[in-house]
Amino acid sequence: MKFTNGYWLIRDGIEPHFAAQGYEAEQEGDELVVYAPDHPLRTRGDTLGGVVLTIRYASPAQNVIRVRVSHFEGAINRGPHFELTPDPTFKPEIRVTDNEAALKAGDLTVHAGLGAAWNTRFCANGKVITKNESHSTGYMLDRAKGPFIKDELSLGVGELVYGMGERFGPFIKNGQSVEIWNADGGTASEQAYKNIPFYLTNKGYGVFVNNTGRVSFEVASEKTSRVQFSVPGESLEYFVIYGPSPKQILERYTALTGRPALVPAWTFGLWLSTSFTTNYDEQTVMSFINGMSERGIALSVFHFDCFWMKGAHWCDFVWDDKTFPDPKGLLARIKAKGLKVCVWINPYIAQRSRLFEEGQRKGYFIKKKDGSVFQTDLWQSGMAIVDFTNPEAARWYQGLLAQLVDMGVDSFKTDFGERVPADSVFRDGNDAVYFNNGDPALYHNFYTYLYNKAVFELLEAKKGKGEACVFARSATSGGQKFPVHWGGDCESTFEGMAETLRGGLSLSLSGFGFWSHDIGGFEGMPNAALFKRWLAFGLLSSHSRLHGSSSYRVPWNVDDEAVEVCRFFTKLKASILPYLLEGAKEAHEKGVPLMRAMFLEFPADPVCAYLDRQYMLGPSILVAPIFSPDGEVTYYLPAGTWTSLINGEQREGGRWFTETHGYLSLPLFRMLQNKESSP
């Protein structure tokens, strides 16, 4: 959200109150408190009235500093709050003098000037990495929308910003305005399903804004040398996280917000879907499964999309008896072939669902202030939304899924979770009431956390730890604990393929260890060239799924060569499974994603800072998907010796290559030892 009109002026309707000076500071236990009035205090009379911001500094862990800026501290925060895990054994060092107050947390120290114009510096090992300057910290009263708290951190020359969730626009976020607000908007706009209020830069630190609601970022967009973040209300809390390497930043961030669960080995195989609106029954399903086997393409999971249930009944968790008269028998026949089974679900209960009356009667749905059920016609007619803040509702929902697990289901595709009250698509969204009386605006993004947590924990309870896996679309901070996530509804174009990769790389730099996407794109029918290029990309991603909207995605529906390409890259991925499992272990233990941006693995190489059409799969395998029908690709190999996994050719890196590949090939190289990689 922008508050200024250029460099000199404030926007109409905004009454600004900027921290003008650090007036006083004191230590309260393990917290450093600085009082910052919006005007210099030179005499006793200056202390009368006016806005005074209270800035509290603390540290939940080594190399992490928490900053809390507040105006009125008597405001009620009904929640929700992110589930954070601080280190209870860590204690910061605090020092207050006449001229400065400082809090030291390991190698990271914040210095707040006292008695002079407002300024704070975050220093790592004595070097400034970012700072607050004039007009950075402020209480901004919008006469139409109410109060906001905002802060700004400086950007140095050449400093680049990454992350903020699964964003499909430019990979580097400098120059962008980013709204942290989950939306069901596809992959071709500024909207995103997975919005994470966290960014990191190539200068050795990251910033996590601890607010579950709408966080507005101006990344070198309102002021070109600063990142501004703002939230509505009377307080703003954020963490500055020092690495110095990007891997260490993610390690510290995920230590605070949670690390991905360890996913089972079978999830790394190929998933095949019925697709969305296609017609299918048991005969169709078995023909697909047998067809893949007959063509030598190993499947790991078969997925039933929405219409395993009757249309207009989603969700009632009852198989459509017209197309699947013997679902338990069908699942047994599929599993007898060595496959796992996944089925589509969402957290909405249509009015025609057999479950609607029970959910309404027992108070399991989000309500309106008058006590009625909050309903909408967006997606399913008259649908209600399960209220996971009600423990009984969560257990009810889990019990329904448990019946499917007992029938033979192994995983759930947890679709949706973005269209919940307070969204702009609901004109009466702020009329919503949750069971625990939480703030709908703060629950909008956080709802997906509760939804996926409920499903994931049910699978863990039924299958055991290490065997649970969901296929989730929406997420917020902490959602990385419940893998796997996929990229949502992308277009079947080369442009859609490229934006999908950008989204995945941004998500991986936001703490998410595992990621997938719809091979061939979701919307539209991919042409043969696109489908075959996307097959290589998809089967060299963390997780791999064939899925579409209105067309079957079995490769023989495209052409015979697509079958060959699918078989080739399925076998290739299977051959590196032990390597992938080691990468998965690293994601689980350290928060370093399996599929990672080049910048994450080679932070010292200035070329890698900008690369968004290639990536690393684990620490030593480089993948450069091909985004053109003619097979031409330009890619970069960092310094070192690389060996092609396609033909065994060795190359020396530190330079660019342009070449043309057939469908059974792409730039795919392995470095035996990555000397540039940070620990």
Instruction: Convert the pLDDT of each residue in 461-476 to its tens digit.
Output: 999 999 999 999 999 9
Residue 676 has pLDDT above 60, yes or no: no
Mean pLDDT of the chain: 96
CA 433 to chain centre: 26
Residue 607 CB contacts under 8 Å (≥ 6 apart), including other chains: 636, 638
What confidence score (pLDDT) does residue 678 get?
42
Instruction: Convert the pLDDT of each residue in 38-61 to its tens digit.
Output: 999 888 888 898 999 999 999 999
H-type alpha helices, 489-527: 494-508
Instruction: Convert the pLDDT of each residue in 172-227 to its tens digit.
Output: 999 999 999 999 999 999 999 999 999 999 999 999 999 999 999 999 999 999 99
Residue 437 has pLDDT above 50, yes or no: yes
How far CA 606 is from CA of 157, 243, 244, 402, 444, in Å, comes to 14, 18, 16, 50, 38
What confidence score (pLDDT) does residue 424 get?
60
Q: Give percent of the chain with pLDDT exceeding 90.
A: 94
Residue tagged active-site, from 418, 439, 523, 601: 418
Strand, helix or coil at 522? Answer: coil
522 and 415 Cβ atoms separated by less than 8 Å: no
Element (H, E) at 102: strand 100-105
Residue 134 has pLDDT above 60, yes or no: yes
What confidence score (pLDDT) does residue 15 get?
97
Q: Count Cβ neighbours within 10 Å for each residue of 1-37 and write b for 16 or more, e otherwise.
A: bebbeeeeeeeeebebbbbbbbbbbeeeeebbbbbbb
What confidence score (pLDDT) does residue 674 get?
56
What confidence score (pLDDT) does residue 431 get?
86
What confidence score (pLDDT) does residue 593 get?
98
Q: Give percent of the chain with pLDDT exceeding 70.
A: 98
Domain limits, the chain: 4-257, 265-345+392-416+451-589, 594-671
What confidence score (pLDDT) does residue 428 get?
64
Residue 377 annotated as catalytic: no
Integer Cα distance of 231 and 150 in angstroms:
7
Instruction: Quickly state the pLDDT bin for 423 (edges 50, 70, 90).
Output: low
Q: Over 415-430, what HEC string results?
A: CCCCCCCCCCCCCCHH
Instruction: Quickly state the pLDDT bin for 429 (edges 50, 70, 90).
Output: low
Residue 89 has pLDDT above 80, yes or no: yes
Element (H, E) at 198: strand 195-201
Residue 489 annotated as catalytic: yes
The closest of 657, 635, 626, 667 to 497, measured between CA atoms, is 626
Residue tagged active-site, from 415, 423, 439, 518: 415
What confidence score (pLDDT) does residue 679 get?
39
Burial of 494 (0-12, 13-18, 19+ CB in 10 A): buried
Residue 365 CB contacts under 8 Å (≥ 6 apart), including other chains: 349, 359, 373, 374, 384, 385, 386, 387, 393
What confidence score (pLDDT) does residue 77 get?
84
Residue tagged active-site, from 489, 491, 518, 612: 489
Integer Cα distance of 598 and 617 in angstroms:
10
What confidence score (pLDDT) does residue 75 get?
83
Single-letter amino acid code for the residue at 122: F
Instruction: Convert the pLDDT of each residue in 535-572 to its tens digit.
Output: 999 999 999 999 999 999 999 999 999 999 999 999 99
Give the total residue count for the chain.
679
Instruction: Convert the pLDDT of each residue in 305-355 to its tens digit.
Output: 999 999 999 999 999 999 999 999 999 999 999 999 999 999 999 999 999
How far is it between the farthest Cα atoms of the chain? 87
Q: Do domains 4-257 and 594-671 have the same CATH topology?
A: yes
Fold designation for 4-257: Immunoglobulin-like (2.60.40)
Residue 601 has pLDDT above 60, yes or no: yes
Instruction: Convert the pLDDT of each residue in 492-503 to its tens digit.
Output: 999 999 999 999
477 and 257 Cβ atoms separated by less than 8 Å: yes
Residue 320 annotated as catalytic: no
pTM over 0.85: yes
* Class of 594-671 in CATH: mainly beta
What confidence score (pLDDT) does residue 673 get?
67
What confidence score (pLDDT) does residue 672 get?
82
**491 vs 44, higher pLDDT:** 491
Fold designation for 265-345+392-416+451-589: TIM Barrel (3.20.20)
DSSP 625: -
Instruction: Convert the pLDDT of each residue in 502-545 to its tens digit.
Output: 999 999 999 999 999 999 999 999 999 999 999 999 999 999 99
